[in-house]
Amino acid sequence: MENYQLNSIYHGFRLIHTEEVADVGSTAFLYEHVKSGARLLFLKNEDDNKVFSISFRTPPEDNTGVFHILEHSVLCGSDKYPVKEPFVELLKGSLSTFLNAFTFSDKTMYPLASKNDKDFQNLIDVYLDAVFHPNIYKHKEILEQEGWHFELNDTKDEINLKGVVYNEMKGAFSSPEGLLMRANQNSLFPDTAYGFESGGDPLYIPDLTYEHFIDSHKKYYSPANSYIYLYGNLDIDEKLAYLDKDYLSSYDRIDVDSAISPQAPIGRQETVRSYPILPGEDDKDKTYLSLNYAVSESTNPETYLAFDILDYLLLDSPAAPLKKAILDAGIGNDVFGSYDNSIRQPYFSVNVKNANESQKEALKKVVNDTLSQLVKKGIDKKQIEAAINVKEFQLREADYGSMPKGLIYSITVMDSWLYDGDPLTHLGFEKTLATIKQALTGNYFEALIEKYLLNSNHESLVIVKPSKTLAEEETNALKDKLAAFKQSLDPETLDQLVDQTKKLQERQTSEDRPEDLRKIPLLSLDDIDKKTEALPLSETNLDGIKTLYHELPTNKIAYLSLYFDTASVSEEQLPWLALLKELFGKIDTEKYGYEALVNEVNIQTGDIHFETNVISDKDSDDISATKFSVKAKILQDKLSGAFDLIHEILYNSKFNNKERIKAIVKEIKSRIEIAFNQNGQSVAVRRVGSYFSESAAYKERLRGLTFYHFIRDLDQNFEQRYNAAVEALQTLAKGLFSKDRLIISLTGDQDLFNAARAQFEKFGIGLDARATAPAQPVSFIPTHNEGLMTSSKIQYAAKGANFKKLGFDYTGQLLVLKQVLTLDYLWNKVRVMGGAYGCGVSAESSGNFIFWSYRDPNLRETLKIYDEASRFAASFKADPFTMTKYIIGTISNLDSPLTPSSKGELSDERYFAHVAEKDVQRIREEVLATKPADIQKFAELLKAVTDQNHVCVFGSESKIKENKDLFDEIFSAFDK
């Protein structure tokens, strides 16, 4: 393609622009398909983790969630791949490094990634046939399953509403934070697509008709309305020829009316919403208040990036001045910013949690006064430098964990491309950063605050209030509506509804034809690497400190971990240890006030944070290691300053700022509540594990419901407990950070390691050397089944046990079983037929084996499905094609691409768990050798696990009370 010329046509595509984008290490080629009108952007580089996506501009016109339901539905079979769920077949058996689909506020996106060329092409073809030729035109049941349907098994039964998206959004609308964010956007843009809920409002999802569903696909899923993206080290000539021949040449360019109009300024508007709490809860101090401001256009590169930095500077940094002013005024006890630049008109929000509606005017005044003072006096330049450095480090590092960076770039380009702007606008960040750095000497940010916040003519106040009666009112209203609907139906129509229910269930329970399954492209085992990737690790001793070194290229960034052994920490001290982790770096030290400390950390490093680590031994559930770790990202020339800061935090932190610690405790409580509401399955899984697992019980005390109850009690009784808290924290801080407890780990190249050695030795000189106290055991939470009640309308159900304690071994075949159960048995039973949004099993080398469901409308039925998994395994059959699929999918999970920093952390974890490379290789070989008979043998293990009857359910109060016979204890999760 080096010979490609501008304005020339290649395989039906006209090359309209090419440009070096050095900031993301790529050359960009922008094309347009002449016949169909499809747009295509290719970012050429040497990254083998290739990415493809196709997106459509899909602005909603109502609250039925039609585009969200389409996103689910087009992946349920197509002309070329007529199986019920090609997406699941790909999950079962591809080497994808990413495979998903997203519904945004104004677009629908289908991204995928793979490092294997053949696999990459297979995935692209399944996705393209899905979006252009879906089976939704042939099977109305796809809408019923993924969207919504009336369920009536017998004319004597009550009618129920079911559907995967319907239940997903019931869960989403149960979260007050989710409601707040939706209301913020809706309130600012009432006359546009952003005034509607693209995901679907459960009250309106049942209004979606099949006709509107089909018409929406016909209108919007056209190449003329598409945005195709390719990234990585690939043959673009081959891809253009394929896209033209197999898909795009069949379409003529049409005009698609999908343009997104801007919202005219609305002045100052107020919106009030409600969210459910339990009838027995106190509704005082549980209101959310939010001030929202429209900010320019998404195609403006300066405001796009500058307000991202300003959000951190004003509200999200521990030293944020606007956040401090609001809390000091006694308004709420948690303040957080949000800046959404993924829509045409980005908006900036000041969000306050645990406030009261009566404080709305006070909030407006504090925000206005504080911003006015910042403009008048100027923002502290150190704070500005720190905030810019945080963002600059993130952009340069481009480490997005498990998400391929090419995928992140695909989302970024849409933030301008979708609105007819240059797709490269936000990838070339250096020029924009240089402009923003004027703030270091001038009044750049102050001018933005004045223009877009203080002088805004487009803002809203959103109030989201607690209601003790809302959940019951909505439940009863739906019951009455369904009862009235049934009453209105004549016997013939009722019979038709029963037949319709049976027809859907027959489709759901029917087997795909083997010949159709074989149409889904599958690699062979010959395409799979037989050897596991070795992780570099060399162990040395520097001045009496054990040091683990991982030699990897990291672009001159040192990834540092300091591990301090915490085996001697008693069970009673564990919650204090978890609190210490949260306080470090956010409180005063001998040398710095906490604001100055935060600024120094952000200027000297990419990040310093603290973790508690619990590692199980590879051969048992026994705890192999417990650590308090310091994690840091440091540029080579700033190593010395970073070590000085770490030393200052560990040894000179002061616990005498009572009000500061009080504020942090309140924030911890608030953030845990948000996390629990969004990921209830993690609460249930961690809690049920604590009934039978020492390591899980330890983690529960550090970050589970037990820790939440500790923090809530400390918050409620802070004045009485403060002195004892200081003593407990000081005792830990003085006793933990000694030389004999320390192991240092560094990931980076040899130059970095050489530069760091002197800092290691210097750091070690200042450490005490004293004998480590003996390890302290941790007791299990008493074994009993718990129903953890919330105001949610759905459940998260967990059940499990430790199979090693029941006499079974951990093997590679068990990982294949996990793949089979998650993507076959549970997917079909819990998601497809049960309507839950998610489900799966966790199978750990410690022996912990736990079933879980996510946003699940059912409870008893789901637990019964778990119990019957052993029967499924006992009768499991699979031909070589199917078995190969499960093996490849399992290997794909084992081979998830890791960044250098992630490789270093995984190597450390294996070191502490006594896992050698030969152990990892053995598991891989066992996976590759798995036969159907191996899966059948696990029937005994599954029955032994479920027979232990360890159950924890986090969710709907009414559903838990309906099934109270399943539990030894039921209580309000947040108010026990």
Residues annotated catalytic, as ranges: 71, 146
Contact 106, 192 (CB under 8 A): no
**Terminal-to-terminal C-alpha distance of the chain:** 65
| Cβ atoms within 10 Å of 694's Cβ, excluding its own | 21
| Single-letter amino acid code for the residue at 242 | Y
Helix (H) or strand (E) holding 161: strand 160-162
Separation between Cα atoms, residue 805 and residue 698, nearest integer Å: 18
Contact 535, 131 (CB under 8 A): no
Q: Is 878 helix (H, G, I), strand (E, B) or coil?
A: coil
DSSP characters for 327-395? HHTT--SEEEEEEE-SSSS-EEEEEEEEE-GGGHHHHHHHHHHHHHHHHHH---HHHHHHHHHHHHHHH
Separation between Cα atoms, residue 516 and residue 788, nearest integer Å: 44
The DSSP secondary-structure symbol of 648 reads H
Separation between Cα atoms, residue 686 and residue 695, nearest integer Å: 10
Which two tokens mark 976? 């026990």
Separation between Cα atoms, residue 913 and residue 709, nearest integer Å: 30
Helix (H) or strand (E) holding 517: helix 514-517
Please state whether 332 falls in left (phi above 0), alpha (psi between -120 and 50) or beta: left
Beta bridge partners of 294: 347
Separation between Cα atoms, residue 786 and residue 95, nearest integer Å: 39
The DSSP secondary-structure symbol of 314 reads I
Beta bridge partners of 952: 786, 798
Separation between Cα atoms, residue 223 and residue 259, nearest integer Å: 15
- 600: nearest Cα among 390, 324, 872, 766: 390
Separation between Cα atoms, residue 288 and residue 896, nearest integer Å: 39
DSSP characters for 424-451? TTTT-HHHHHHHHGGGGTS-HHHHHIII
100, with CB counted inside 10 A (0-12, 13-18, 19+), is middle
Separation between Cα atoms, residue 733 and residue 736, nearest integer Å: 6
Separation between Cα atoms, residue 730 and residue 587, nearest integer Å: 13
Q: Is the CA virtual torsion 229, 232, 234, 236 positive or negative?
A: positive
Contact 688, 781 (CB under 8 A): no
